[in-house]
Amino acid sequence: MLSTALVLFVAAAPAKSQALLDKGKAAFQINCVACHGEKGAGDGPGAAALNPKPRNYAKDPFKQGDKLEDIFATLTKGVPGTPMVAFAHLAEEDRWALAYWVLELKGAGNDKPAVLDAGTKTPPKKK
């Protein structure tokens, strides 16, 4: 199964759904919060030691592009020369789910409400 996922790099994104967002959120907790922080603010427990540091998704422009496909590509290839490793070992569907979740976190910092973000207990903080 893993080998099939690896060659399907250009596969089309699945449609956004609550189930996919839930999956993305869960996968983010497991794989990403250590560096990116729960809300993607770049303040995970491991972030202080990183160079370069992860972006605050909600506030900072994305260096690798902020379209769904760009984020999927970042996850698949990583960002060479930074602590952001590739997550190509995750199932393709999980990478799309994560890409949707990253966009959700990005949107949560703007004034746009995160419409599908039913699983989050605390409302997005404004500074």
Give min distance, CB of 75 to ligand HEC, in A: 6
Q: Does 64 bind ligand HEC (CB under 6 A)?
A: yes
Q: Does 102 bind ligand HEC (CB under 6 A)?
A: yes
Closest among 71, 56, 77, 84 to 24, alpha carbons compared: 71
Select the residue interacting with ligand HEC from 26, 82, 91, 120 (CB under 6 A): 82
Select the residue interacting with ligand HEC from 23, 25, 36, 106 (CB under 6 A): 36
Give strand ranges (E) for the chain: none
Q: Does 34 bind ligand HEC (CB under 6 A)?
A: yes
Q: Does 71 bind ligand HEC (CB under 6 A)?
A: yes
Cα dihedral value 89, 40, 98, 13, nearest 10: -120
25 φ/ψ angles, rounded to the nearest 5 degrees: -65, -45
Reading phi first (left if > 0) and then psi (alpha if -120 to 50, else beta), residue 110 is in beta
Interactions with ligand HEC, residue window 2-31 (CB under 6 A): 28, 31
